[in-house]
Amino acid sequence: MRPEPIRTLELRGITKRFPGVLACDGINLDVPEHSVLALVGENGAGKTTLMNILMGLYQPDEGSILLNGRDVKFRSPNDAFGHGIGMVHQHFMLVPNMTVVENIALGMKETHKTFGLDLKQVRRRILEISERHELPVQPDAFVWQLSVGEQQRVELVKTLCLGARFLILDEPTSELTPQETDELIVLLKKMSDELSIIFISHKLHEVKALSDTVSILRHGRMVFRGNTADHSSSDLAALMTGHEVNLPRNECGDGCGDVLLEIRDLRVRSDRGYMALDGVSLDVRAGEILGVAGVSGNGQRELADTLNGLRRAESGTVLLGGKQLLNRSPRDVIDSGMGYIPEDRNTEGIVPSFSIKENLVLKDFAAGTFSALSFLRLGTIRRNADNLKKRFDIRCPSTDTAAGSLSGGNIQKVILARELARGPKALVAVYPTRGLDMGAEEFIHNQLLERRREGVAILLISEELEEIMNLSDRIAVIYKGRILKIIPGGEATKKGLGMLMAGVMDE
């Protein structure tokens, strides 16, 4: 049974409350047929919540969904599939220890026979779809074996196999390399001839490249609707954040001091046992930001772990101000003046159940400032927290709040405050703005540049090319555990870096 075609889809007055948060506040949205609507907004603006309501995953507190003018109720994703609506979630909804065919069969109820699964039928359907839309997939591979780009294709094929002709894509490019992103955009452009697409993003150049119309959400409210072509990226950015955004740049090219952080021939094994870092050498000078660009999974995690004493290296040298730090304990590394903004802020950066003021002294609670005779000096800890809260603009009800309940941007500010207030000599920042909105990004970039002026040696690991290019004095490209090339920041181009990140070395 084919569902009737979707000519118009309207959301009327959708409101959704979570404990303590008004995620969607009376949102109206119209989606025209055969076009691409970009749904734009910062993190926490309510984009994903709104789409989860449309998919029947959340129930709205108020409001209705109208399909071809008729009121419909989606109680579960099954109902949405039934009307031909499918969604590719930001975090892939694929079961890692099942094969691609099995993952897709899960949703294809017509292949669920009494005494078995008709995997042949599923495979036929996958091949048919993947051929028609030029989306190559390996049906019998396990999902955990696939790269992020391949998983993305599987998600698209899956959604189409389930009969979606109305596609919701939730930040589909957030984990892709620049090349993969470009390919995806071309592909979606082609698919929009047959399908209607809602494209959720906060990357405005993608929105410009792909969408016909754009709707902007801010703090759960719809603040703008219009044709994409009529508005510039910077207009849209201002509408999205509510103020003019000027991401800072590293303007002063010189002024670097002596080499402070010296890494020589570092060889480190990954968790799975292969050489994740295979002879990496880098120098970071005082007052310099060295950007390490690369697709994640090329040794960045191992590099950051090893520099901070969290992973044993096979061989090599790490000198901070002339002091050997290789394979020393994290305590030694911290006491030598290393600051660390870890990749996973929720599990490595903070203790989520501890309060903000406790998280702010995690590295120093045993020092004389914050404890005496092995009792904590609670007054000093509280004053320290109040002070840092003001200085780093940490938005929280009180410093007694559990750090884990803050938004991503504010958690990152807590980490930044703790690391920078200690006055580090060197700082390792790993994906410092990943998943943050532009306001928080601006703040963090300014902080990093200010530390640079103060003479801190900063190693910035990122896969956001714009971030790397805006901030770095020099850019090192890492690929499969080796540094392919080091380029001065001023000479880097997006295209050149993208090629290097993919391992292409032609001049």
Partner 1 sequence: MVNFLTNILILGVPFSVALLLAGLGEMFNQRAGVFNLGCEGIMAMGAFLAFMPPYFLAGSMPAGMANLVGILVAMAAGALMGLVFALVTVTFRAPQGIAGIGLHMLGWGTAGTLFRHFVGGVTGVPGIQTLPIPFLSGIPFLGPVLFNHNPLVYLAFLLVPAAWYLLFKTPWGLKVRSVGTYPRAADTMGINVNRVRYQALALGGAMAGLAGAYLSLAQAKMFADDLVAGRGFIAVALVYFGRWHPVGILGGALLFSLAQSLQLSIQVAGIDFPYEFAVMLPYVLVIVVLALSGKSKMASPTDLGKPYNREQRV
Name the residues that contact partner 1, by CB under 8 A. Answer: 18, 49, 55, 57-59, 76-78, 81, 87, 89, 91-98, 102-103, 105-107, 109, 111-113, 115-117, 142, 144, 162
- Coil, helix or strand at residue 27: strand
Q: What is the DSSP string of 170-235?
A: ESTTTTS-HHHHHHHHHHHHHHTTTSEEEEEES-HHHHHHH-SEEEEEETTEEEEEEEGGGS-HHH
Smallest separation (angstroms) from partner 1 to the CB of 339: 29
Q: Which is nearer to partner 1, 102 or 171 (CB)?
A: 102
Separation CA 98–CA 103 (nearest Å)? 6
What is the strand order of the sheet 426-430 is part of? 338-341, 426-430, 457-462, 289-293, 474-479, 482-488
Q: Which is nearer to partner 1, 18 or 232 (CB)?
A: 18
Count CA atoms within 13 Å of residue 72 on its CB side: 24
Q: Which is nearer to partner 1, 95 or 378 (CB)?
A: 95
Q: At what angle do helices 494-501 and 178-191 cross, to 10 degrees?
A: 100
Q: Which residues contact 478 (CB under 8 A, 6 or more apart)?
A: 280, 292, 293, 294, 298, 299, 300, 303, 484
214 in Cβ contact with 226 (< 8 Å):
yes
Smallest separation (angstroms) from partner 1 to the CB of 67: 18
Candidates 233, 166, 213; CA nearest to 194 is 166
Separation CA 423–CA 432 (nearest Å)? 18
Candidates 143, 137, 136; CA nearest to 99 is 143
Smallest separation (angstroms) from partner 1 to the CB of 7: 24
Which DSSP category does 11 fall into?
E
Q: Where do runs of H (alpha helix) occur along 90-140?
A: 100-107, 119-132
* Tokens of residue 375, six digits: 């009792």
Smallest separation (angstroms) from partner 1 to the CB of 117: 5
Smallest separation (angstroms) from partner 1 to the CB of 206: 23
Candidates 297, 269, 300; CA nearest to 282 is 300
Separation CA 318–CA 313 (nearest Å)? 10
Q: Which is nearer to partner 1, 94 or 237 (CB)?
A: 94
